[in-house]
Chain A
């Protein structure tokens, strides 16, 4: 079998490729819920083990966050779905259904698109066994102060920016 590319091609292309090598293939065996439930110790000392009610409250906050980030960019659900390579149905459910378990890929794509820390969105989606207490409290408070409207008021923008800023600060800590 002959390789149909030259080493000169490799030299040119490798230098301009993005830093991470592309990967493909079957992901890990097991669902996120199984993986999350199998963890014995919370990752952080301030972590709280989640009950169903806590998960619902966090997902409400996640739905508000995603909706407000989307509105801030002036996008419809269809537009965001197209740009982030997601299904409209899944997006609608994340925004409005706190009993919906978002798939890991969806959380990853939202994190990537909106530049919000992945670990935070994972916790807010209920994908982890334990959640940072401070995140939980901040998320619940944030959701409680947000209204379900089709556009953001100035005050809501400030609240949103403040919450996202806090999430980014926490991920660096």
Chain B
């Protein structure tokens, strides 16, 4: 059942102020409806404009093939997955799906349990590469902090892993402090992991 975890803040780029937003664990019909009605049409229209995957990646228009509805329903019925949503102003601003049954691959923590982020995404109207005047900033950081919090809560000490979209690689590697786990041919993406110390440093309050 959908549960409010806490009220957080997102930065409204238009008004240059922070606004309250809610982080929920487990998606419900409202979140899935927002994706189908508000996110997908915008993403599909833009996606059709690009002649190559690389350009769609650069313009942040990739979600249209991602089936949140199917994934969320699977997650709700299973202990293997968890879903999260951020809502602000009555609309879903961010979504995240994680798998809690995967294991770390990077040296130093190989074989350890971690929270694997299957998909983390902000609404299309929040993406600077997608719209001229993006609205909210901070969705990614809130959701990453949520994944780390879940990892700690499960006893995995904050360890998380993900495959990065190309335009976000430098952020994960250089800003957030992930370890670069190398390119994965099967997914055509770069793999990143955070260990306990990196996770603690990421959410440290200083």
Contacts and interface: CB of A to CB of B under 8 A. Distances in A.
Contact between chain A and chain B defined by CB under 8 Å: yes
Interface of A: 1-11, 13-15, 17-32, 35-36, 39, 43, 85, 87, 103-105, 107-109, 111-112, 118-119, 121-123, 127-130
Contacts, number: 196
Chain B interface, >50% SS class: mixed
Contacts of B55: 118-119, 122
B166 interface: yes
Given A43-B51, A122-B52, A25 B165 contact: yes
Contact of A3 (B8, B121, B129): B8
A22 B164 contact: yes
B177 interface: no
Contact of B122 (A3, A23, A108): A23
Contacts of B11: 14-15
Contact of B153 (A1, A11, A18, A121): A1
Contact of B8 (A10, A17, A118): A10
A21 B138 contact: yes
26 contacts: A1-B5, A3-B5, A5-B149, A10-B138, A11-B18, A14-B11, A15-B11, A17-B171, A20-B60, A20-B127, A21-B140, A21-B141, A22-B144, A22-B176, A23-B165, A24-B119, A24-B168, A24-B172, A32-B53, A36-B52, A104-B54, A105-B188, A122-B51, A127-B52, A127-B54, A130-B51
Contact of A10 (B119, B141, B183): B141
B54 A85 contact: no
Interface residues of B, number: 74
Nearest to B64: A28
The 8 closest A-B pairs by CB, nearest first: A25-B119, A21-B140, A14-B138, A104-B54, A24-B162, A128-B51, A22-B168, A122-B52
B9 A109 contact: no
B203 to A, nearest CB: 5
A154 to B, nearest CB: 33
B102 interface: no
B169 interface: yes
A25 B68 CA distance: 12
B137 A17 contact: yes
A110 B50 CA distance: 19
